[in-house]
Amino acid sequence: MHTLLRIFFCGLLLCIISGCQPTISNDAKPAYDAYLEFIADLRACSKDEVNPAQDRQCDKEKIWNELDAQTKSRFLEAYGALVRIDRIIETYFDNIEHQSMRARTGTDILQTADIKEYKDLFFYMFKPEMLVIDSETDSGLVLEKSYVNAPDYVTIQTHASGQLFPMILEDDGVWRTAGLLQAAEAAVEPILASEAAMKEYAKGNLKTELERREKVRKYFLIQQEIQKMNLKGIKPAAPKPADAEAGEENAEDEAPTDEEAATGEEAVPEGDTADAAESAEPAEQAEPAEQAEQAEPAEPTENNPEEASSE
């Protein structure tokens, strides 16, 4: 992916250099002078076969400063996307997958090319030394027309390619070119598309990741408690399986108490004791009544004289 981006970017630069000599109006001249300066800086960084002994030195920093703010913002956007993709890979993929995923998404250049800011990304992708200025290209450096669209906006059209180069007067009073805007947008498009795909993946796996993080958080909390207990000399109890704990509870319920073991009788639960007492009371009260009935003499009657005489 990196090679394709560079080839496309530099191919458009070749079209830019292929047209620039004009008849220009006074209103457009400041913008046109800035444009010529930009082309000269590009030629200084390229393989110029027509003027190989030119005095101008390659200065990529100067070329960067000649780009308009909108073009620079595309590299800022792409750099931010690379950083976000790298974070997604770090968060949602196993360590064994990090290297391959970074190579597939292009985020590996953050480390391999030491890209710390969006300007570094421009320098990485912008390779003017791959351009070759031969006699054919040099003969096409002729300006066709200039258009003053507004006091701060001039469009320059080349004769050979017919390409349009917007020149923008920015707030600091410097004319800068927007001629690389389309090239920049096309160059960073794969990065932005990759970020969109990775965000969808992260969104779909967010719940799983949150659950994983919660488990990790609980694990470390437990480990911290164990360390505190070790420092205090308290031996943490070994975790017991759920079945073993249930078995111990049942065994405790079935085991006889000390009193039961001594008497050989089974203890009655507290509630059952009250019920048993209530059912036993009527039987105990009935015994005196029965004895009284047996001891009481029968009354004398006419039919039983023996009972009367004995009385």
The string of pLDDT tens digits covering residues 242-281 is: 555 555 555 455 545 555 444 445 444 454 444 444 444 4
Single-letter residue type at 119: K
Q: Report the pLDDT value the prediction gives residue 233, as an integer from 0 to 100.
A: 79
Encoded tokens for 118 = 């969006």
Q: Classify 133 as helix, strand or coil.
A: strand
Evaluated on CA atoms 291, 297, 302, 306, the torsion sign reads positive
Is 80 exceeded by the pLDDT of residue 287?
A: no
Is 90 exceeded by the pLDDT of residue 72?
A: yes
pTM here is: 0.59
Q: Report the pLDDT value the prediction gives residue 140, as an integer from 0 to 100.
A: 60
Is 80 exceeded by the pLDDT of residue 112?
A: yes
Is 70 exceeded by the pLDDT of residue 124?
A: yes
Q: What is the pLDDT confidence band of residue 285, given thresholds at 50, 70 and 90?
A: very low
The string of pLDDT tens digits covering residues 195-236 is: 998 888 877 776 777 777 788 889 989 988 888 888 887 776
CB 152 within 8 A of CB 168: yes
